[in-house]
Amino acid sequence: MTHWRKSTHSGGNEGECVEVADLDGHIGVRDSKNPAAGHLTLTRRDFTALLTRLA
């Protein structure tokens, strides 16, 4: 079973909620308000690059 974690940067009640999960060597990213919509799958390298760009 995949364990999704809510980002600490998602905020309280602002409605902008992101969850991440370890997917066997990749990182999954999804909208916690609509998990049935699917998720993005990124390599660890690409996820790191994304976080660097967002910082």
| Every domain of the chain and the residues it spans | 5-54
Cα 39 versus chain centre, distance:
8
Burial class of residue 30 in the structure, from the number of CB atoms within 10 Å of its CB (0-12 exposed, 13-18 middle, 19+ buried): buried
pLDDT, one tens digit per residue, over 2-51 is 999 987 766 666 667 889 999 999 999 999 889 999 999 999 999 999 99
Phi, psi of 54 (to 5 degrees): -80, -20
> Bridge partners of 30?
19
Does the structure show a pLDDT above 90 at 54?
Answer: no
Confidence at residue 14, expressed as pLDDT on a 0 to 100 scale: 62
Confidence at residue 19, expressed as pLDDT on a 0 to 100 scale: 92
